[in-house]
Amino acid sequence: MAGFTLLEIMAVLVIAGLIYAVLLASPFGRASSGDLKAAARTLASGLRQAQTVAITTRRDALLTVDVEAREFRVADLQPHHVSDRVDLKLYTAQQEVSSERVGAIRFYPDGSSTGGRITVSSGERKYLVDVDWITGRVSINE
């Protein structure tokens, strides 16, 4: 009698289950919606922190972004790293651009800023973290 044994069928089901689990955990190298939103919120928090530092110390404060390394730094504090599956783009004033991969958004002691936008994306999905240049207000938009 030709056919498959129960052990062979179980082995195939286990292998198929493992493959399915791996594909769900990492949808083709893209960040999940949660990872993307978390990165946008972390960046917005860093921008607000830089604004607070500028106001409280009465000195200019920078949030510096390294888009290639996927990290940002507020003033001289420790750098924060975002997920490797998230892409960053920085749009800021020309005088705040250090190189092709590094730039900053500057906050002034009165709370205003140079303004700018950090785009947090993965595939077609993206969040825009905007900084208003007059008020320094930070907002997140889809």
Block means of pLDDT (10 residues each) for the chain, 142 residues, are: 77 84 61 83 92 93 91 87 88 90 94 93 90 93 89
| pLDDT for the residue numbered 51 | 94
DSSP one-letter string for 72-140: EEETTS--EE--TT-EEEEEE-GGGB-SSSEEEEEE-TTS-B--EEEEEEETTEEEEEEE-TTT--EEE
| pLDDT for the residue numbered 109 | 95
Extents of the domains making up the chain: 33-141
pTM of the model: 0.76
| pLDDT for the residue numbered 107 | 94
| pLDDT for the residue numbered 18 | 83
The CATH class of 33-141 is alpha beta
| pLDDT for the residue numbered 23 | 65
Please tell me the distance from the alpha carbon of residue 20 to that of residue 23, in angstroms, as a whole number: 5
Please tell me the distance from the alpha carbon of residue 138 to that of residue 129, in angstroms, as a whole number: 7
| pLDDT for the residue numbered 28 | 55
| pLDDT for the residue numbered 25 | 58
